[in-house]
């Protein structure tokens, strides 16, 4: 009994102790649990806070600077500042949001720009057509005008109209239109003269032609585009140099068949930044947005770039002129150069007069020239090394590229054959045979 | 400018250059221009130099010069009057083609036979 009692007590106490222990354990684990819960909550809150901050950074900093960056690459785009978030799904979401934003902005900008270009193009083409009508009318009036004063007035209006045509044509080309005119094959000096006429202050431009012949022309499809490009480069040269300085234009023919229009001004030149921007636009490889061209838009280089891309001539402005300004060169490749007979299609009276070609050195023919030894001098004719052929001799022998008159050609040939016959007759046959061996 | 040639490229106002209005209005279509032998000066435009070259080969009327240079007559008059002012050209009043009152006496009409020969020549040329 006692034993049972004791056992019961012992068991009870043991149970109680176990329960107490268990209770203590439970309480401890509950404390731990609540502490870890608190920790989890705290860290979740912290993470949420970091995410909010990253989101705020995206909205307040990254997206605006992305918008600025799309306008100009000079603006940097900051990335995610919180390094702890990098690599997470959330960071990837933010990045894709930024990309989406950039894409939407770009697309919208292209769309708006295309609409602006279309509107400008439509307006330009109509104005251009009307200006050409006005040009025709003024030209007809000038043909019949007898009075000097009236003629001067027509000239003034005509010049104003030409300047207007130039501005409108340039804008039309930048907005994706064609130059608006197709010309027949045209003499190069005429193209340059026409280009000067479209500018205010054309009196300051002096054109020197160093072309060797009167036949150098540009194929029809490239005539007006080259005139437009030349006009824009001349306009830049006039604008960037003082009003009392002249602009020198030189027409050159290179040995590889290309023709160059070289424009030298004595202006202030271009900065490196301007030059690289010009080179980018003149290459004509990418579509330019109107919004990239400044306000008011500077259309000249963009128009040239468009024409260069369409027609395949080259324009460079990266050299300094001898007068420390800019030297612009239009290079017209042989494919766009053609030959025009000045008799059937004469040059305009206003185009520059070609400078006399420099005299090519010529071998002097002296009396003791061994080639002139006659057969009766007792010396056998000997073969001699001929002097180097002077290039351009043929051209000079036939000035202006005219073939000789038929009668003259016949007489020359007659004399030549008679000379040969006389020489053969005078030479004994054995000597002739000896000469041959 | 001319039909079939497309739109003109070089306008006439380039011909006299940027100089001011001409000083005389006495030149007429049939005024004969004669070279004085004085060469062109540096301020003369290409069109003026071409006119001078043309006249140096022999005297021509204003109308003929305009035809050779393919310029409107008024423009050619303007060029010629500047060259006359500069002493490079002489202008001689036409013998005919001006009002009867100031016609040079002694400048008779050409004989009928000459006119007939001219007509015949023109008809054969056609």
What is the structure's pLDDT at A285?
78
Taking residue A115's Cβ as centre, other Cβ atoms within 10 Å add up to 10
Query: B32-92 adopts what CATH topology?
Result: Arc Repressor Mutant, subunit A (1.10.10)
Instruction: Give yes or no for B4 touching A (CB within 8 A).
Output: no
Closest in B6, B21, B74 to A142, CB measured: B74
CB of A295 within 8 A of CB of A278?
Answer: no
Q: Whole-angstrom Cα distance, residue A116 to residue A289?
A: 10
Per-residue confidence (pLDDT) for residue A373, from 0 to 100:
45
The per-type count for chain A, helices as H runs and strands as E runs, is 11, 8
Determine the distance in angstroms separating the CA of A335 from the nearest CA of chain B, rounded to an integer: 22
Q: Which residue of chain A is at minimal alpha-carbon distance from B54?
A: A349
Phi and psi dihedrals of B117, rounded to 5? -65, -40
Q: Say yes or no for a CB contact (<8 Å) between A202 and B18.
A: yes
Q: Which of B6, B12, B77 to mutate to test the interface with A (most CBs of A within 10 A)?
A: B12
Tell which of A162, A180, A348 to mutate to test the B interface (max B CBs under 10 Å): A348
CB contact under 8 A, A136 and B14: no
- The closest alpha carbon to A226, from A270, A193, A255, belongs to A193
- What DSSP line would sit under A131-152, residue for residue? HHHHHHHHHHHHHH---HHHHH
Predicted local distance difference test score (pLDDT) of residue A392: 46
Sheet holding A326-332, edge to edge: A205-209, A247-253, A259-264, A326-332, A314-320
What would the two tokens of residue A312 be?
A: 């395949």
Angle at Cα A349 formed by Cα A347 and Cα A355, nearest 5°? 75
- Residue A75 structure tokens: 């603006």
Degrees, nearest 5: CA angle A310-A313-A314: 115
Is the CB of A60 inside 8 Å of chain B's CB atoms?
no
pLDDT in tens, chain A (437 residues): 556 677 667 666 666 666 767 777 777 778 888 888 889 899 889 888 888 988 898 899 989 999 888 888 888 888 887 777 778 888 889 889 999 999 999 999 999 999 999 999 999 999 999 999 999 999 999 998 888 888 889 999 999 999 999 999 999 999 989 898 889 999 999 999 999 999 999 999 999 999 888 899 999 999 999 999 999 999 999 999 998 999 999 999 998 989 999 999 998 888 888 888 898 889 887 778 888 887 777 899 999 999 999 999 999 998 888 888 999 999 999 999 999 998 989 999 999 988 776 666 666 555 554 444 444 555 676 666 655 554 444 444 444 456 668 888 889 899 999 998 988 887 665 555 544 44
Say whether A351 and B77 touch across the interface (CB within 8 A): no
Among B21, B49, B50, the residue with its CB nearest the CB of A152 is B21
Contact B15/B75 with Cβ under 8 angstroms? yes
- State the Cα–Cα distance between residues A64 and A76, nearest whole angstrom: 11
The nearest CA of chain A is from the CA of B111 a distance in Å of 31
- CB within 8 A of A284, min separation 6: which ones? A304, A305, A306, A307, A308, A309, A310
Contact of B22 with chain A, judged by CB distance below 8 Å, is answered with: yes
CB-based contact, B77 to chain A, within 8 Å:
yes
What is the predicted pLDDT for the residue at A260?
95
The answer for A 141-160 residues in CB contact with B (under 8 A) is: 142-149, 151-152, 155-156, 158-159
Quick one: pLDDT at residue B23? 60
pLDDT at A273: 87
Q: What is the mean pLDDT of residues B20-24?
A: 58
Cα A381 from chain centroid (whole Å): 61
CB contact under 8 A, A184 and B13: no
A212 and A255 Cβ atoms separated by less than 8 Å: no
Give the distance from residue A314's alpha carbon to the nearest chain B alpha carbon, in angstroms: 22
3-class DSSP state for residue A286? Answer: coil
Return the domain boundaries, chain B: 32-92
DSSP annotation of A208: E
Please name which of A172, A163, A175 lies closest in space to residue A131, comparing C-alpha atoms. A163
- Asked if B62 and B33 count as a contact pair (C-beta separation under 8 A), the reply is yes
Whether the pLDDT of residue B22 is over 60: the answer is no
Q: Please report how the helices A148-174 and A220-239 are oriented relative to each other, as an axis angle in degrees rounded to 10.
A: 100
The answer to whether A197 and B13 have CB atoms below 8 angstroms apart is yes
Any idea what the Cα angle at residue A139 is, between residues A135 and A141, rounded to 5°? 120
Helix or strand run (H / E) with residue A319: strand A314-320
What CA–CA distance (Å, rounded) separates A334 from A39? 81
Mean pLDDT of all residues belonging to chain B: 80
Q: Using a CB–CB cutoff of 8 Å, tell me whether A186 touches chain B.
A: yes
DSSP assigned state of B58: S
Helices (H), B1-126: 46-56, 62-69, 73-85, 112-125
Write out chain A residues lying below 8 Å of B21, CB-based: 148-149, 152
Q: Which pLDDT value is given to residue A89?
A: 87
Kindly state the helix (H) or strand (E) to which residue A66 belongs, with its residue range: helix A63-71
CB contact under 8 Å between B70 and A352, yes or no, is: no
Task: Among B1, B10, B25, select the one facing A350 at the smallest CB separation.
Answer: B10
State yes or no: pLDDT of B6 exceeds 80: no
d(CA A173, CA A180): 9
Which of A:190-229 have CB within 8 Å of B?
190-191, 193-194, 196-197, 202-203, 223, 227
Cα-Cα end-to-end distance for chain B: 26
Helix (H) or strand (E) holding B60, with range, is strand B60-61
Q: What pLDDT is attached to residue A194? A: 95
Angstrom distance (rounded) from CA A197 to CA A217: 19
The DSSP output letter for A354 is B
pLDDT for the residue A372: 46
* Residue B95 in tokens: 């013998």
Please report the pLDDT score of residue A376 as a whole number: 53
pLDDT at A402: 60
- Given a cut of 50, whether residue B86 has pLDDT beyond it is yes
Which value, to the nearest 10 degrees, does the dihedral of the CA atoms of residues A45, A47, A50, A54 take?
-130
Q: Beta strands A186-187 and B60-61: pairing type?
A: unpaired
């Amino acid at each position: 009994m006692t034993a049972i009692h004791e056992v019961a007590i012992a068991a009870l106490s043991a149970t109680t102790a176990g329960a107490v222990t268990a209770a203590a354990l439970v309480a401890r684990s509950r404390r731990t649990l609540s502490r870890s819960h608190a920790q989890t909550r705290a860290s979740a809150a912290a993470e949420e806070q970091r995410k909010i901050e990253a989101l705020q950074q995206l909205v307040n900093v990254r997206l605006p600077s992305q918008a600025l960056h799309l306008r100009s690459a000079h603006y940097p785009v900051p990335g995610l500042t919180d390094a702890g978030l990098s690599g997470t799904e959330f960071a990837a979401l933010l990045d894709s949001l930024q990309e989406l934003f950039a894409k939407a902005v770009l697309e919208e900008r292209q769309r708006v720009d295309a609409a602006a270009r279309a509107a400008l193009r439509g307006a330009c083409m109509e104005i251009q057509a009307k200006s050409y009508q006005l040009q025709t009318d003024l030209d007809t009036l000038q043909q019949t005008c007898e009075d000097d004063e009236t003629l001067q007035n027509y000239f003034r209006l005509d010049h104003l109209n030409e300047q207007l045509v130039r501005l409108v044509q340039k804008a039309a080309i930048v907005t994706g239109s064609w130059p608006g005119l197709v010309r027949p094959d045209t003499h190069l000096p005429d193209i340059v003269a026409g280009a000067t006429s479209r500018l205010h202050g054309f009196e300051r431009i002096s054109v020197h032609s160093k072309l060797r012949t009167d036949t150098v022309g540009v194929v029809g499809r490239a005539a007006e585009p080259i005139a437009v490009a030349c006009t824009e480069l001349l306009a830049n040269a006039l604008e960037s140099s003082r009003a009392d300085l002249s602009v020198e234009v030189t027409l050159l023919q290179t040995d590889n068949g290309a023709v160059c229009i070289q424009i030298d001004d004595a202006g202030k030149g271009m900065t490196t930044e301007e030059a690289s921007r010009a080179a980018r636009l003149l290459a004509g490889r990418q579509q330019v947005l109107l919004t990239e061209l400044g306000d008011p838009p500077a259309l000249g280089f963009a128009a040239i770039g468009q024409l260069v891309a369409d027609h395949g001539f080259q324009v460079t402005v990266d050299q300094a002129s001898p007068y420390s300004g800019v030297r612009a060169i239009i290079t017209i490749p042989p494919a766009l150069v053609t030959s025009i007979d000045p008799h059937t299609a004469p040059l305009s009276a206003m185009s520059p007069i070609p400078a006399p070609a420099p005299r090519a050195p010529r071998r002097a023919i002296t009396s003791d020239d061994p080639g002139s030894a006659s057969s009766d001098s007792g010396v056998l004719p000997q073969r001699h090394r001929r002097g180097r052929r002077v290039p351009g001799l043929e051209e000079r022998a036939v000035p202006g590229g005219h073939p000789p008159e038929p009668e003259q050609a016949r007489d020359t040939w007659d004399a030549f054959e008679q000379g040969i016959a006389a020489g053969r007759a005078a030479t004994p046959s054995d000597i002739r045979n000896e000469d041959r061996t | 400018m001319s039909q079939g040639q497309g739109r003109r490229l070089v306008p006439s106002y380039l011909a006299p250059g940027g100089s001011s209005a001409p000083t005389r209005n006495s030149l007429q279509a049939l005024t004969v221009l004669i070279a004085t032998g004085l060469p062109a000066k540096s301020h003369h435009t290409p069109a003026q130099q071409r006119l001078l070259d043309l006249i140096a080969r022999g005297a021509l009327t204003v109308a003929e010069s305009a035809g050779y240079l393919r310029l409107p007559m008024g423009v050619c008059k303007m060029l010629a009057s500047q060259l006359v002012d500069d002493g490079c050209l002489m202008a001689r009043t036409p013998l005919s083609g001006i009002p009867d009152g100031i016609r040079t006496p002694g400048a008779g009409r050409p004989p009928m036979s000459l006119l007939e020969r001219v007509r015949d020549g023109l008809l054969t040329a056609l």
